[in-house]
Amino acid sequence: MLEIIIDILALIVLFFLPGFFLVLIIFPNRGQLSKDFDLIFKICLSIALSAAISIIAGLLASFFGIFSGPLDTKSIRLWIVMILVTFWLGVFSWKFGGLKAFFAFEKEPSDIAIESKEDELRQLVLEKKRLQEKLAILMSKHYQTNKTLKEEASVRIPGLKKQIEEINIRIDELVEQNKKSKEAES
């Protein structure tokens, strides 16, 4: 039973965690790779990058004389090197915000209860920011140079611009109402 647990831990440390932390460093925000399949893409990239990191770490450790015998999942030196690499990648992913963002459970702006005009204004600003981020992604070089993505972007961009414009109108109305209510109070 202990052998199975060690093998499972070895697979996780060698072929998932280092790449996962590296992916969170490179793509710290949710939805950067895809709106719908972001987690799946990050997992697939994690596996591929972990394999590459493990191979490179093993080669570098061997080059510097850390390993003198054959490498397997029970090699204590391999464990030490990979745990150190994984630890530092984890620290950097936390520092750059990827790990924090991955475990953050932020409410969507539409989930926030509107209790006052200030709350509605805050909610509108958050929604506008979210839509502007989507718009920036769709207008990015990546989307504009790929023919298929450019077609998708050309369909989605006008709708996003219209939503942003509607939010701007509502924000202007709320700001004007706040000005009028403050003038009436004084």
3-state secondary structure the chain: CHHHHHHHHHHHHHHCHHHHHHHHHHCCCCCCCCCCCHHHHHHHHHHHHHHHHHHHHHHHHHHCCCCCCCCCCCCHHHHHHHHHHHHHHHHHHHHCCHHHHHHCCCCCHHHCCCCCHHHHHHHHHHHHHHHHHHHHHHCCHHHHHCHHHHHHHHHHHHHHHHHHHHHHHHHHHHHHHHHHHHHHHC
pLDDT digits (tens, 9 = 90+) for 80-117: 888 899 999 999 998 887 877 777 654 444 444 445 67
Domain edges within the chain: 2-103, 109-185
Question: What average pLDDT does range 141-149 have in this prediction?
Answer: 81
Whether the per-residue pLDDT at 3 is higher than 50: the answer is yes
Whether the per-residue pLDDT at 23 is higher than 70: the answer is yes
pLDDT for residue 68: 61
**Whole-model pTM?**
0.53
